[in-house]
Amino acid sequence: MMLANACELYRDAGFVGQPAAAVTSLAFVVAGLAVVARRRHGAPTVTYGLLVVAVGVGSLVQHGPNPPWQAYAHDMPIATLLAYVAVEAASDRFGRRLSLGWWLVAPLVMVPTVAAGSIASTIVQAMLAAVAVGLGLERARVRPQLRRTSIVAALLLVSGALLGTIGDRTSICRPSSVLQGHALWHVLAAAGLWRLAPTIGSSADTEHRSSRGHRPHRNRRGPGQLKTARDVPSSDG
């Protein structure tokens, strides 16, 4: 048996149905925990990291035991993460504070969407991904300090999606092979999400306040310190 969106053969025995895809799902867990551990920008970074972990757990559920509710476990965290990235980028780009209400709509919308079938769910996720990437690049356009990080992250995600699609849905698909395009997608996507982490929560206002906090060093003389030649009034003229 093969899952609808993956080339790898599903083995109806044990906890790990698709070994390559299941093992590489842990790349998201590792990336998310690494983001949480750094807590670069506080709560926004932690939330982002936990959502990346959730993506990994949901992917492991689908490619591992594959229970009847696997589609919800797999698709809902992805949609929620994409919505979070999109809303965070938009709030930064347009100077509005991040509202939980916007990105929490995604898991609610995904419940009936997943129930409608894999095609509907894939379309919604693709739309969210396009919006998230587009807003991220737009923010990078006006925030040069985030440009390199955003572009590298986008390239990792897009190349991973492309290679995964080629491996899963073209003639090079080899269901019994250990080397799987979907597994490569997992690794590259996890790397892209980890690379994107420094941009999360890095608002323009925060960086502006941070830059104002650095004041130029002033030379101060302590008690009894001799005057320098620069401090003595000139007698010329």
pLDDT in tens, 182-204: 999 999 999 999 999 999 987 74
Average pLDDT for residues 59-88, to the nearest whole number?
Answer: 94
pTM of the model: 0.81
In a domain, 97, yes or no: yes
Quote the DSSP letter at residue 64: T
Chain position carrying tokens 């986008």? 154
Average pLDDT for residues 204-221, to the nearest whole number?
Answer: 47
Integer Cα distance of 6 and 155 in angstroms: 22
pLDDT in tens, 100-121: 778 889 999 999 999 999 999 9
In a domain, 107, yes or no: yes
Average pLDDT for residues 2-28, to the nearest whole number?
Answer: 82
Q: Which of 98-102, 192-196, 210-214, 228-232 has the highest mean pLDDT?
A: 192-196
Chain position carrying tokens 């982490």? 197
Query: Is the torsion defined by CA of 92, 96, 98, 99 positive or negative?
Result: negative
Integer Cα distance of 227 and 225 in angstroms: 7
In a domain, 221, yes or no: no
Average pLDDT for residues 26-44, to the nearest whole number?
Answer: 91
Integer Cα distance of 121 and 129 in angstroms: 12
Higher pLDDT pick, 229 / 21:
21
In a domain, 74, yes or no: yes
In a domain, 208, yes or no: no
Report CA 221 to chain centroid distance, whole Å: 50
As for how many domains the chain has, the answer is: 1
In a domain, 219, yes or no: no
In a domain, 183, yes or no: yes
Domain with 34 in it: what CATH number?
1.20.1070.10
Q: What is the mean pLDDT of the chain?
A: 84
Cβ atoms of 18 and 4 closer than 8 Å: no
Cβ atoms of 96 and 70 closer than 8 Å: no
Integer Cα distance of 66 and 3 in angstroms: 9
Integer Cα distance of 47 and 99 in angstroms: 13
Residue 65 structural domain: 19-202
Query: Is the torsion defined by CA of 122, 43, 56, 74 positive or negative?
Result: negative
In a domain, 83, yes or no: yes
